[in-house]
Structure 1
Amino acid sequence: MADRSTMSEQDKHLMEKEICPDSETADCVEEAFVFGEDLELNRFDGLPFSSRYYKLLQERQSLPVWKAREEFLDILVNNRLVIVSGTTKTGKSTQIPQWCAEFCLSAQYQHGVAVSTQIHSQQAVDLALRVADEMDVNIGHEVGYTIPLETCCSTDTVLRFCTDALLLREMMSDPMLEHYGAIVIDQAHERTVSTDILLGLLQDILVHRPDLRVVILTVSSMTDRLLAHYGSNVPVVSLEALCPAEVVYSNCSSKDYFYSALRLVLEIHRTKEEGDVVLFLASPQEVVCSRAILQREGTRLGAELGELVPVVLCPGQGRTPSRLGEGMGSRGTVTTRCRLVFLSTSQGEDMFWAVDSVNFVIDVGLEKRHVYHPRIRANSEVLRSISRYQADIRKQLTGPTGTDIRKQLTGPTGKCFCLYPEERVLPIETSPQILDTNLTFTILFLKRMEIAGLRHCDFITRPDPEGLMQSLEELDYLAALDDVGNLSEIGIIISELPLDAQMAKALLASCEFDCVNEVVTIAAMLSAPSCFLEPPDGRTQEVQQCHRKFRHPEGDHFTLINIYNAFKYSQRETYFSVEKWCQDYHLNHRALQTADAIRSELTDILKRIELPISETSFGTKTNTLNIKRALLAGFFMQIARDVDGSGNYFMLTNRHLAQVHPASSYGAKAHQLGFPEWVLFHEYTLSGNHGIRTVSEISPAVFIQTAPQYFYSNLPPSESKDLLQHILDRDGSGRKDKQQTLTINSKADKDCSTVAQSYDRCVLQ
């Protein structure tokens, strides 16, 4: 493919003619943005346009956003910040980034290229594929994408789609985002932590970079909050709203919404009315359950009704809009009807930009959100109402897109069944995730940005003070902060690793204990989705028996190493089918592939910052002890003791009682071998039986040697603390041993000569 340096002289002349200095009139500015459809050659690659380009151009011109094209481009030339409000099917996510790329092209990329953020990886990929098709260029060349563990870009890339979290991480090496001339923040109304931080920092970046253009894509209900934050003089481009579907409300009980929704799906199918169905449920678990039920019930319906095909379409799992035609049974045949039932959850509304066959929407009006409780360091799942803007978006998902979208402007094109009363008061906007999540990463990142010169992040919603204090305390315990509250050398290294702070500290400590290979495997397995598949109905015993073959007597962290090693062994043996092997042992093949990719990425980072990587010696007593020491270096705040021998674990930091999760190695074999007295756990959740997950046995003596003295002294009074004090009094050498073996964990020992040696081994190059 020809690049920009190989354009014809005629094309270069046309491009230069369209570039106007700021001092020229508005007429010249308008001329600068004459699009390539009037030219014979594509200005991005210098090649003639294909016939498909003109076909897609007709579809693009029918989108509601196209009516605002000239207005948007005029505003973009004269303003550094622009807000565009509109719903999913207006076309803003595909067209606005292209126009921003045109803007960067008009300046010959002197100020950088264009980037557009998404909150989910698959949406970034799907949009990049669609936009590359519309721009008539090859994916990975002029248009590309970057998502975790995958990059499809080149030096020719002028428009990149990426996740908001990855753009944040990119700021660590490019704080002012000088590689970009235009930044599109899409889905700002979803209020993810990464998007909120970007919106806060970009305000400061714009002060330093007057050449930068920032475009925020959101819904109308979010516009007022953004104007209150950035100032009422910020221009807003409001896209024409689509006509919503006919809305039918219900007085369905909040307890019965799940089965009521499934019954409604089957009733719609029995009416034989044309059109696919979208069902919004509260959680991914409900999506999986509903898929199994609809598959079973669909086979019992008469053949004359046609095939009922449930399709999972929610963030992080299932099919994607670009692949909906794959594996759809007999949908493509003429003789057999097929109705798709798209099963989605909260934050799934923006995934339907490429779906034009929906005629029915069923909205349960609820969502399950994960909420972090800083005082007890625990997660819980809370069921609550969706926001008003989510409800409005869902009402507008019926009807066609593309060339037929004008039909939606004349009247309702489908039905939306809201399984809640019309008088229910919905919150105006979604609760910002920054109020519900652990803020340790946020604080770590902002401390890193302070080093780079960005000292102010003006949050749209201020984080919870208690959460901020807890995060600062945690970073202090992990020795990530120095005496004046700035990042220490250890903190800088931790910020380099794409892990939570505790896991990053454990991986860093593994360099001291010569067990990097094992701990990096644990980190990768815990960062990836769970490798254990849920047992089908009636096969729980069979699945547990398969998983039991991997269990390690020292605990769940070691079991994860066993599973990963077995997975890699099955890859090396040519007579094994890896997919078949995972299926036989009821393991998630995709999750294990993800863990393998994460492990490779972590290993590369350790090599880049020149940290030592030891040879594996998994299985020896010394290695087992060293793994536990490394894990304790990061997770000493998550220790529990069995107080009565029956699995009632008392947590030292908050004095709560919890049970071991049934999926744990100890949870399954407790009736045979009993529970270990002292354990380290990875996660504590308040749902169900207040379970602690990913549990491994530890020695209290090793815990005393590893945990910082000031953490131990700050533990609330308890019988368990008294037992630790007794061990400490009996073995006065415990503190001395710690200074000799794990100086990296104690601020109190920073003056020791051994600390200087450990710092020398962990200096960022």
Structure 2
Amino acid sequence: MAQDVSSLNGEDCFEGNSPCCSDSEAASEGNNDYDDILELNQFDGLPYSSRFYKLLNERKELPVWRAKGEFMDSLAKGQFVIVSGFAKTGRSSQIPQWCAEFCLSVKFQHGMVVCTQIHPQQAVDLTLRVADEMDVNIGHEVGYNIPLETCCSNETILRYCTDDMLLREMMSDPLLERYGVVVVDQAHQRTVATDVLLGLLKDIALQRPELHVVLLSAVKPGPKQLALFTGSPLPVIHLEAPGVGEVVYSSTGDNYFCSALRLVLEIHHSEEPGDVAVFLVTTREVDLARDILCHEGHSSTSDRGELLPIAVHPGQPGTLPVLGEEEEEAHRTRRVFLTCGPNEDFFWAVSSINFVIDAGLEKRYIYNPRIRTNSVIIQPISTGQSECRKHLAGPAGKCFCLYPKERQLPAEIRPHIVESDISSTVLFLKRMEIAGLGHCDFTDRPDPGGLMQALEELDYLAALDNDGNLSEMGIIMSEFPLEPQMAKTVLASCEFDCVSEVVIIAAMLTAPSCFMVPPVELKPEVTQCYMKFQHPEGDHFTLINIYKAFKQYQQDPYCNEEKWCQDFFLSHKALLMADALRAELTDTLRRIELPVSAPAFGSRINTINVKKALLAGFFMQVAWDVDGSGNYFILTHKHVAQIHPLSSYGAKSPKLGLPEWVLFHEHTFSEDNCLRTVTLITPQE
């Protein structure tokens, strides 16, 4: 396919005769008999379908379309371009297509196009939409690459991927020589992976002057982002979105949750048709709101149709409607999208949102390197986030801000790199030094205390040599898509002949939690279900029991594995992800020629070996019951915590007594001060 594409007249495409320019516009406006149109798609050489022209007319209505000429001119003249525009301006779907046209115009001599996203599901959704608009096949001309799933080939012209997947790709292709244009979307979210990617791209661009870098942001870039790429004129294109509709402010204090639900019901019974987006603060609030609105929707009637609450969680597929949904069905139902955190871009495809309810707060995890744990804080959203949410309702809609108008909001989103555990990031950057990318110019430098703690932890794990460079052990650890402690545990399992069991543990703890958060009234029943999987040695072994039970049930052709998961209050999607991750980790071990021992789960020697492997990576996460009452003293930072109630040793699980010494996987400090995923250890072992 690459030869066919390269032989096309790319210059004509760029000069204005592309399918998205004058010829197709004339065809779509002047003739509806599409069967007589012989215009060929320059990306695959096939005639355009009638749907292409229908979607083309929709695309021309997007605010981004008015900036196409300016963008293409800036891309051709400079190495860096910044485009800012809110979620529904079309930036995430149109700009990458135009970059593909640009690469086609030079016959892909410098490479293809890659566009990064923060969340995997958004990368998939955009791929589906863009392939439809370009009238090409998924996985061929347009594809995606997300954790545990790849739908593309070496000849894919436009690839969507998560920013962390592109970073991992740089381990084998440090200069990204496969690509001629790198589009970094959602740069305003300031995630660790995005900031690291931008810092490395600056160094790559110096070594590859032919590489073009495009930054997409919902809000206008701040001075620090503008200063990141210097040495050449930096064009900044701002997409003018339709104006904001009516904005209503109110002071609800801590009662924003009840106020939001009351507003949803009032809108449903008294306002014109249209969907509602509700921005809450925590995932627990989102799930609780969905349950309450489901109950209210069934118990009340309205001439506005059915009330359909939908929980939208990052990283979980199937939470947003499929594009192209029938309008008739949409008119019969008022959908209420419930979400938390900075998810404004999740609604890029939902044009039917007429009402927005914004709590104006967000939950953030702040890593404290001194005590090696996260603290949870609730803080106001930024000014940019507030504006993004107001624009979701459109010029004819309403936005209800559940905070006073005079509240002072932070000017920008606080970068995650200054408040996160960056051990994995430092391990990756050390790997990049070996590849020749030793300089990462951060927009905001990491916290010095966090950086020192990360280097100290890597040194403890033997990932660094005496000179502070990556050791042979560190190089192997960086091959795994795991946090450094878990990567070291997997490597130790090769020494202790317990690879099969430890890989299951690593997969179960890296994937989202398999335990579903149930309604309060079902807690005793849920506890009884979980107790059936409990292992006397602790939670790590309980996870193995759950995984093995799931696999056994999955292999029975007469059983419904989804129903089995529901009956035991387990997440089917999380277990499938853990299964895929286990397979990937096993493949990685075989690729680097490390031994994979046969399963021996259940034997005493295997149990001891698994604990030895866990201690090899998590020796700094050991606690001692100081008084025999469940108050555990964490040795590394002398803090006292309790075991989580749903643990095998928790208060809700009286089956097992309290161990004197435990190894734990996670400690949440300010949320509930609990140790999660704990296993019994003894000095003798």
Aligned to 1:409: none
Conserved in 2, the CA contact under 8 Å of 1:312 and 1:319?
no
- How does 1:5-24 map onto structure 2 within 5 Å? 5-6=3-4, 12=7, 15=9, 17-18=11-12
Give the structure with the higher percent helix.
1
Offset at residue 325 of structure 1 (A): 7.8
Aligned to 2:209: 210
Conserved in 2, the CA contact under 8 Å of 1:311 and 1:319?
no
> What is the alpha-carbon distance in structure 2 between the residues aligned to residue 551 and residue 43 of structure 1?
59
Q: Which amino acid aligns with 1:357?
A: S
Aligned to 1:397: 392
Aligned to 2:140: 141
**Once structures 1 and 2 are overlaid, which stretch shifts more, 146-155 or 574-583?**
574-583
1:338 to 322, 333, 351: 333
Q: Which amino acid aligns with 2:486?
A: M
Offset at residue 305 of structure 1 (A): 4.5
1:369 aligned to 2:364?
yes
Aligned to 2:36: none
- How does 1:191-230 map onto structure 2 within 5 Å? 191-230=190-229
Does the C-alpha gap of structure 1 residues 148 and 41 become closer, same or farther in structure 2, counting only changes over 3 Å? Answer: same
Aligned to 2:109: 110
> What is the alpha-carbon distance in structure 2 between the residues aligned to residue 59 and residue 388 of structure 1?
30
Does the C-alpha gap of structure 1 residues 583 and 38 become closer, same or farther in structure 2, counting only changes over 3 Å? Answer: same
> What is the alpha-carbon distance in structure 1 between the residues aligned to residue 97 and residue 486 of structure 2?
39
Aligned to 1:379: 374
Offset at residue 30 of structure 1 (A): 4.2
Q: Which amino acid aligns with 1:351?
A: F
Does the C-alpha gap of structure 1 residues 627 and 225 become closer, same or farther in structure 2, counting only changes over 3 Å? Answer: same
> What is the alpha-carbon distance in structure 1 between the residues aligned to residue 54 and residue 383 of structure 2?
36
Conserved in 2, the CA contact under 8 Å of 1:367 and 1:386?
yes
> What is the alpha-carbon distance in structure 2 between the residues aligned to residue 306 and residue 325 of structure 1?
20
> What is the alpha-carbon distance in structure 2 between the residues aligned to residue 150 and residue 699 of structure 1?
40
Per-residue Cα deviation, 1:655-704 (whole angstroms, up to 9, x for no partner):
000000001000046656431000000000013441000000011244xx
2:444 to 461, 465, 480: 461
Aligned to 1:554: 537
Conserved in 2, the CA contact under 8 Å of 1:658 and 1:689?
no
**Once structures 1 and 2 are overlaid, which stretch shifts more, 59-68 or 533-542?**
533-542
> What is the alpha-carbon distance in structure 1 between the residues aligned to residue 112 and residue 342 of structure 2?
28
1:360 aligned to 2:355?
yes
1:72 aligned to 2:67?
no
Conserved in 2, the CA contact under 8 Å of 1:36 and 1:43?
no
> What is the alpha-carbon distance in structure 1 between the residues aligned to residue 673 and residue 154 of structure 2?
50
Aligned to 1:93: 92
What SS does structure 1 have at the residue aligned with 2:312?
Answer: strand
Aligned to 1:280: 279
Per-residue Cα deviation, 1:558-583 (whole angstroms, up to 9, x for no partner):
00001111111111222322112212
Does the C-alpha gap of structure 1 residues 151 and 215 become closer, same or farther in structure 2, counting only changes over 3 Å? Answer: same
Does the C-alpha gap of structure 1 residues 307 and 670 become closer, same or farther in structure 2, counting only changes over 3 Å? Answer: closer
Offset at residue 33 of structure 1 (A): 6.5
What SS does structure 2 have at the residue aligned with 1:220?
Answer: coil
Aligned to 1:653: 636
Conserved in 2, the CA contact under 8 Å of 1:126 and 1:320?
no
Q: Which amino acid aligns with 1:354?
A: A
Conserved in 2, the CA contact under 8 Å of 1:68 and 1:239?
yes
> What is the alpha-carbon distance in structure 2 between the residues aligned to residue 573 and residue 300 of structure 1?
39
What SS does structure 2 have at the residue aligned with 1:427?
Answer: coil
Per-residue Cα deviation, 1:608-651 (whole angstroms, up to 9, x for no partner):
00000000111111000000000000000000000111110001
Offset at residue 324 of structure 1 (A): 6.9
What SS does structure 2 have at the residue aligned with 1:383?
Answer: strand
1:692 aligned to 2:675?
yes
TM-score normalised to structure 1 length:
0.85
| Count of residue pairs brought into register by the alignment | 670
> What is the alpha-carbon distance in structure 2 between the residues aligned to residue 174 and residue 233 of structure 1?
28
Does the C-alpha gap of structure 1 residues 31 and 641 become closer, same or farther in structure 2, counting only changes over 3 Å? Answer: same
Aligned to 1:591: 574
> What is the alpha-carbon distance in structure 1 between the residues aligned to residue 296 and residue 16 of structure 2?
59
Q: Which amino acid aligns with 2:306?
A: E
Does the C-alpha gap of structure 1 residues 17 and 83 become closer, same or farther in structure 2, counting only changes over 3 Å? Answer: closer
1:179 aligned to 2:161?
no
Aligned to 2:252: 252
2:605 to 604, 616, 622: 622
> What is the alpha-carbon distance in structure 1 between the residues aligned to residue 67 and residue 401 of structure 2?
32
2:561 to 578, 599, 604: 578
1:442 to 425, 429, 435: 425
Aligned to 2:491: 508
> What is the alpha-carbon distance in structure 1 between the residues aligned to residue 476 and residue 364 of structure 2?
31
Aligned to 2:295: 296
Offset at residue 300 of structure 1 (A): 2.3
Conserved in 2, the CA contact under 8 Å of 1:515 and 1:626?
yes
> What is the alpha-carbon distance in structure 1 between the residues aligned to residue 213 and residue 10 of structure 2?
24
Aligned to 1:564: 547
1:539 to 522, 537, 546: 522
Conserved in 1, the CA contact under 8 Å of 2:192 and 2:416?
yes
Conserved in 1, the CA contact under 8 Å of 2:280 and 2:361?
yes
> What is the alpha-carbon distance in structure 2 between the residues aligned to residue 688 and residue 315 of structure 1?
20
Q: Which amino acid aligns with 1:395?
A: K
1:608 aligned to 2:608?
no
Question: What are the ranges of 5 or more consecutive residues in structure 2 without an aligned counterpart?
Answer: 25-38
- How does 1:613-762 map onto structure 2 within 5 Å? 613-668=596-651, 671=654, 673-702=656-685
Aligned to 1:84: 83
> What is the alpha-carbon distance in structure 1 between the residues aligned to residue 388 and residue 513 of structure 2?
31
Q: Which amino acid aligns with 2:291?
A: A
Q: C-alpha root-mean-square deviation of aligned residues, in Å?
A: 1.9
Does the C-alpha gap of structure 1 residues 397 and 672 become closer, same or farther in structure 2, counting only changes over 3 Å? Answer: closer
Q: Which amino acid aligns with 1:57?
A: L
> What is the alpha-carbon distance in structure 1 between the residues aligned to residue 119 and residue 233 of structure 2?
31
Does the C-alpha gap of structure 1 residues 277 and 667 become closer, same or farther in structure 2, counting only changes over 3 Å? Answer: same
Conserved in 2, the CA contact under 8 Å of 1:141 and 1:157?
yes
TM-score normalised to structure 2 length:
0.95
Work out which of the two has the higher radius of gyration on C-alpha atoms and give 1 or 2: 1
Aligned to 1:749: none
> What is the alpha-carbon distance in structure 2 between the residues aligned to residue 34 and residue 85 of structure 1?
25
> What is the alpha-carbon distance in structure 2 between the residues aligned to residue 273 and residue 600 of structure 1?
50
Conserved in 1, the CA contact under 8 Å of 2:78 and 2:233?
no
Q: Which amino acid aligns with 2:233?
A: N
What SS does structure 2 have at the residue aligned with 1:553?
Answer: coil
Does the C-alpha gap of structure 1 residues 269 and 646 become closer, same or farther in structure 2, counting only changes over 3 Å? Answer: same
Per-residue Cα deviation, 1:504-529 (whole angstroms, up to 9, x for no partner):
00000000000000000000000111
Q: Which amino acid aligns with 1:626?
A: N
1:38 aligned to 2:19?
no
> What is the alpha-carbon distance in structure 2 between the residues aligned to residue 556 and residue 95 of structure 1?
47
**Once structures 1 and 2 are overlaid, which stretch shifts more, 179-188 or 277-286?**
277-286
> What is the alpha-carbon distance in structure 2 between the residues aligned to residue 672 and residue 121 of structure 1?
39
Conserved in 2, the CA contact under 8 Å of 1:314 and 1:351?
no
Offset at residue 435 of structure 1 (A): 1.6
What SS does structure 1 have at the residue aligned with 2:234?
Answer: coil
Question: What are the ranges of 5 or more consecutive residues in structure 1 without an aligned counterpart?
Answer: 20-28, 400-411, 703-765
Does the C-alpha gap of structure 1 residues 700 and 669 become closer, same or farther in structure 2, counting only changes over 3 Å? Answer: farther
> What is the alpha-carbon distance in structure 2 between the residues aligned to residue 647 and residue 17 of structure 1?
72
What SS does structure 1 have at the residue aligned with 2:303?
Answer: helix
> What is the alpha-carbon distance in structure 1 between the residues aligned to residue 317 and residue 158 of structure 2?
27
Aligned to 2:118: 119
Conserved in 1, the CA contact under 8 Å of 2:508 and 2:575?
yes
> What is the alpha-carbon distance in structure 1 between the residues aligned to residue 357 and residue 653 of structure 2?
44
Conserved in 1, the CA contact under 8 Å of 2:527 and 2:652?
no
Conserved in 2, the CA contact under 8 Å of 1:188 and 1:216?
yes
Conserved in 2, the CA contact under 8 Å of 1:516 and 1:614?
yes
What SS does structure 1 have at the residue aligned with 2:407?
Answer: coil
